Amino acid sequence: MSTVREKQTLTLRLASDVLDTAQDAVRAGMAPNVTAFIEAAVRARKQAVRNARLNLLAAEAMADPDFVRDMRDISAEFAETDRKSWPQYQTVDSPPGSVNHESLGEAA
């Protein structure tokens, strides 16, 4: 089942080499027209845009001392449960609630 998406009109000013690339893509059969090629290019970057937006929200949250305090309190409350539930992330000398970053494939 295909979904019909409402289209909106947008006028763009593109660098000539970018337009040439889009037109070359159409000639090569990569897209039926320049608009479709540009739309596909934007869709290809959709996840990167989402990640950038989430990074901005996370940075904003981490700049809020009340949020950071709440997260630390919640982490402390769940430290014992986390230690019991995720023993593979613990080392013999790990304090309760800490993460063994090497087991996650990360540098400590």
Q: Provide the whole-model pTM.
A: 0.54
Give the tens place of pLDDT for each residue, 33-87: 999 999 999 999 999 999 999 999 999 999 999 999 999 999 888 888 877 787 6
**More confident position, 35 or 5:** 35
Residue 29 lies in a domain: no
Residue 55 lies in a domain: no
Q: Which domain holds residue 87?
A: 64-108
Give the tens place of pLDDT for each residue, 23-33: 999 999 999 99
Cβ neighbours for 14, distance < 8 A, ≥ 6 positions apart: 22
Residue 97 lies in a domain: yes
Total domain count, the chain: 1
Q: What is the pLDDT of residue 95?
A: 60
Distance, CA of 89 to CA of 100 (rounded, Å)? 5
Measure Cα distances from 97 to 55, 65, 72, 81 in Å. Answer: 25, 22, 12, 8
Residue 106 confidence (pLDDT) above 70 = no
Residue 58 lies in a domain: no
